[in-house]
Amino acid sequence: QLQLVESGGGLVQPGGSLRLSCVASGLTLHYYAIGWFRQAPGQEREGVSCISASAITTTYADSVRDRYTVSRDNAKNTVYLQMNGLKPEDTAVYYCAARSVPSCGRTYDVWGRGTQVTVSS
């Protein structure tokens, strides 16, 4: 019943910024931890960030720490990923995913279809 839709991807130059949004429908996100993942061509999907249901805990991959910020607005049923200082190696399809427990973890149950982020000059 829960559906997730990512938006905000696009083409940016190195050093630029993007803000991705993950909007949920069907159910409230209030009790779900939300993770962000990315997958580049020929590479495995990797976890980028996670935010707990109440935003008490946030996690980041070492490769994006200090450049990305995850946040959520449960009243809007939306989770955001602010990406600053983008690098070509950030190029990937970015997915949000819901975990049907409040805390961040390793498994996720509902996935969006992804949004393309391309960092290139």
pLDDT of residue 80: 98
Average pLDDT, the chain: 96
In angstroms, how far is CA 104 from the centroid of its own chain?
13
For 24, the token pair is: 């949920």
DSSP of 28-57: -STT-EEEEEEE-TTS--EEEEEE-TTSS-
pLDDT digits (tens, 9 = 90+) for 32-47: 999 999 999 999 999 9
How many whole angstroms separate alpha carbon 97 and alpha carbon 90? 18
- Least Cα distance to 91 among 41, 55, 45 occurs for 41
Q: Flag residues of the chain having pLDDT under 70.
A: none
pLDDT of residue 2: 94
